Structure 1
Amino acid sequence: MASNPGAARQWLAQHVQPFIPATRITCITVGNEVLSGNDAGMMANLLPAMKAIYAAVGDLGLGSQVTVSSAHSVNVLATSFPPSSGAFREDLAQYIQPLLDFHGQTNSPFLINAYPFFAYKASPGSVSLPYVLFEPNPGVSDPNTNLNYDNMLYAQIDAVYAAMKLMGHTDVGIRISETGWPSKGDEDEVGATVENAAAYNGNLMQRIAMNQGTPLKPDVPIDVFVFALFNEDMKPGPTSERNYGLFYPDGSPVYAINTGAGSASGRTGSFDPYSSQTMYSSASRLAMTSWMGVVGLLVVLFL
């Protein structure tokens, strides 16, 4: 699509336009974690493809509703702590700088896939479990700003803000395109349990429902897409990769998430998507609905 605008329009006409306005599609992400790979050709074609999709979105009259972006791993950061010292990898600067320019010009978000689970799994002895699960803890202070972080996700978000500022952009917002916690894992995947998955997603949803921002930007509510709606029982890799879902493939919930204060329940049980007792219905910005009528707010176009 980078070199064929007609293909971009055709793809949108087939995969996006027919579902609007019945489905609330707000963003198209071109590729997923392209800059974390080793395909130089794909990296070079990423921005041209995004521009082609953006032009096609405008041609079809969808520009006021649908933004265009690309999702990145937190591994695009060379430094993430303290958050105020966040910086992008030097080897990716040639790609990220024009991407940020594009986002600034089109008022589109910079997308990050952030998983505190990976940090905990790698260093369970040095990373506090309450800190990554949004549970009560003393937090970690940024020595440069004196801002206190009571959870890792917010620290990761602010590290990206700092990295963008170093590249001259304070005009680009951040959206978390993926975050979640596996309910099951291999023996060496410390922390992959139903209880921790329910706590992470439940506590996160409670904060989203409160329109909470990060310490650096307290007045800018975080915008999050939870990964994933369903367990992917045929996905390769470690056991955790098949167990990020809120639901089993048959539509039954893996665990319940409650709206009450404190930790989310780790109990499995019946699920009513419209009940006031579940966080699924009150966290309206989350990219999930009941399994009876699944719609996504984020459409992924793989290059």
Structure 2
Amino acid sequence: MIIVATGAVSAATAALKFGINYGQIANNLPQPTQVSGLLQSLNVNRVKLYDADPAVLTAFSGTGVEFIVSNGDLNNLSDARSALAWVSQHVQPFLPSTRITCVVVGNEVLAPGGDPAAMQSLLPAMQAVHQAVADLGLGAQVSVSTAHSADVLAASYPPSSGAFREDLAPYVRPVLDFLAQAGSPFLLNAYPFFAYKASPATVSLPYVLFEPNPGVVDPATNLTYDNMLYAQIDAVYAAMNAVGHADIAVKISETGWPSKGDEDEVGATVQNAALYNGNLMKRIATGQGTPLKPDVPVDVFVFALFNEDMKPGPASERNYGLFYPNGTPVYNLGFDGASFSRSPTSTFSSSSRPTVRKKVPTAY
């Protein structure tokens, strides 16, 4: 979908299944109108927001860019009237000029040690938003889902052994039933970086960076995996199949690699970030699926557009961006056509809960 990797990825091909996360947890970001111009110059046509910022949605009116918007206020959304009011205010007014295609309700809510109240509220909130979308006549345009971390899996290696955590089963299975009935995708936030960071002596760096490597064979299926991200996707397919759902698509709602980290964050370098995102973009542009689903092109949103100076957590959290806030690339991925006006800048920050990515050293 998004960016042209040097000399290898055509904009027309990459535009199909590649998107970008537009995080806003910073005090030095450009105005949404500037961002709109930048992304159009890069042929980016799919963007995921962590809220439903009206300034951003307005700035992209008429551009044809598809948006995923988010709301993590589960208690409020669980009420049907509140859900209807939110969709009426934050989604309906921008259609069809701005193409909103999905509402993400909550982010990584289902997790070991998670907030029980939030986990209990997740499905009712999704159902209420889905009903609100339908009541407003937007069901053909807007789907409803939620994003999960790989922590929902109890096992992911080999991919055929994929299984959801038993302690999360009371929440996961009803959500899967909802996704299947609504025709919505399972959204996965997957970061092979954390597997490498946790165990650099045993995790192959070429394997996590999409670089040439012998691959790993799943003994149950005899399928060969040459990268960890695709193994994680197939582990989710296996986990869903194990509970009776072969009818839900898996999409990567977040993935990326930091260009900088703390001293103990092994692998967080500009070189590795450029290899991960560049190789991923080239792979997506081929339209190739995973070993388990070879005919289903992988759908990916890369995190993130800009480095975010106010993001909490380790240094890596503030250095996932493809660009610095002044519009210059953090590393070369073939942004030759980029166009960016460097003034004025904005001081807004996201109203959504900042998410610190979790260590998931699985699916080796």
Q: Return the TM-score normalized by structure 1.
A: 0.85
Give the corresponding residue for 1:4: 79
1:272 aligns with 2:347: no
The offset of 1:290, in angstroms, is 11
1:257 aligns with 2:362: no
Where do 1:107-256 residues align within 5 Å? 107-256=183-332
Give the corresponding residue for 2:149: 73
- What is the rounded CA distance, in whole Å, between the counterparts of 2:155 and 2:129 in structure 1? 31
Give the corresponding residue for 2:68: none
Give the corresponding residue for 2:33: none
1:28 aligns with 2:103: yes
Residues 106-146 of structure 1: per-residue CA shift (max 9 Å, x gap): 10001110000000000111111110000111000000000
1:61 aligns with 2:137: yes
Tell me which amino acid in the other structure corresponds to 1:24: R
- What is the rounded CA distance, in whole Å, between the counterparts of 2:342 and 2:295 in structure 1? 32
Residues 177-234 of structure 1: per-residue CA shift (max 9 Å, x gap): 1000000001110110111111111111111111110000000111111111111111
The offset of 1:273, in angstroms, is 4.0
Tell me which amino acid in the other structure corresponds to 2:114: N
Where do 1:275-286 residues align within 5 Å? none
- What is the rounded CA distance, in whole Å, between the counterparts of 2:97 and 2:257 in structure 1? 30
Deviates more, 1:28-37 or 1:159-168: 28-37
Task: Decide whether aligned partners of structure 1 residues 201 and 231 sit closer, same or farther in structure 2, where only a CA change above 3 A counts.
Answer: same
**Where does structure 1 lack aligned partners over 5 or more consecutive residues?**
259-269, 275-288, 293-299
Give the corresponding residue for 2:116: 40
Q: 1:183 touches 1:244 (CA, 8 Å); kept in 2? A: yes
Q: 1:71 touches 1:112 (CA, 8 Å); kept in 2? A: yes
**Where does structure 2 lack aligned partners over 5 or more consecutive residues?**
1-75, 344-350, 354-364
- What is the rounded CA distance, in whole Å, between the counterparts of 2:258 and 2:90 in structure 1? 30
Q: 1:28 touches 1:301 (CA, 8 Å); kept in 2? A: no
- What is the rounded CA distance, in whole Å, between the counterparts of 1:166 and 1:290 in structure 2? 51
Q: Secondary structure at the match of 1:41?
A: helix
Tell me which amino acid in the other structure corresponds to 1:21: P
Q: Secondary structure at the match of 2:99?
A: coil
The offset of 1:62, in angstroms, is 1.5
CA RMSD of aligned residues (A): 2.1
- What is the rounded CA distance, in whole Å, between the counterparts of 2:245 and 2:258 in structure 1? 34
Q: 2:154 touches 2:162 (CA, 8 Å); kept in 1? A: yes
Tell me which amino acid in the other structure corresponds to 2:146: S
Task: Decide whether aligned partners of structure 1 residues 14 and 225 sit closer, same or farther in structure 2, where only a CA change above 3 A counts.
Answer: same
Tell me which amino acid in the other structure corresponds to 1:166: A
The offset of 1:271, in angstroms, is 4.3
The offset of 1:253, in angstroms, is 1.4
Tell me which amino acid in the other structure corresponds to 2:183: N
Q: Secondary structure at the match of 1:159?
A: helix
Aligned to 1:106, which of 182, 189, 201? 182
Give the corresponding residue for 1:297: none
Corresponding pairs, count: 271
Q: 1:273 touches 1:290 (CA, 8 Å); kept in 2? A: no
Q: 1:182 touches 1:197 (CA, 8 Å); kept in 2? A: yes
- What is the rounded CA distance, in whole Å, between the counterparts of 2:124 and 2:114 in structure 1? 18
The offset of 1:14, in angstroms, is 1.7
Give the corresponding residue for 2:72: none
Residues 47-86 of structure 1: per-residue CA shift (max 9 Å, x gap): 0000000011111221112111110110110000000000
The offset of 1:2, in angstroms, is 4.6
- What is the rounded CA distance, in whole Å, between the counterparts of 1:51 and 1:129 in structure 2? 41
- What is the rounded CA distance, in whole Å, between the counterparts of 1:301 and 1:23 in structure 2? 21
Percent identity, aligned pairs only? Answer: 71
Task: Decide whether aligned partners of structure 1 residues 199 and 175 sit closer, same or farther in structure 2, where only a CA change above 3 A counts.
Answer: same
Q: 1:29 touches 1:301 (CA, 8 Å); kept in 2? A: no
Q: Return the TM-score normalized by structure 2.
A: 0.71
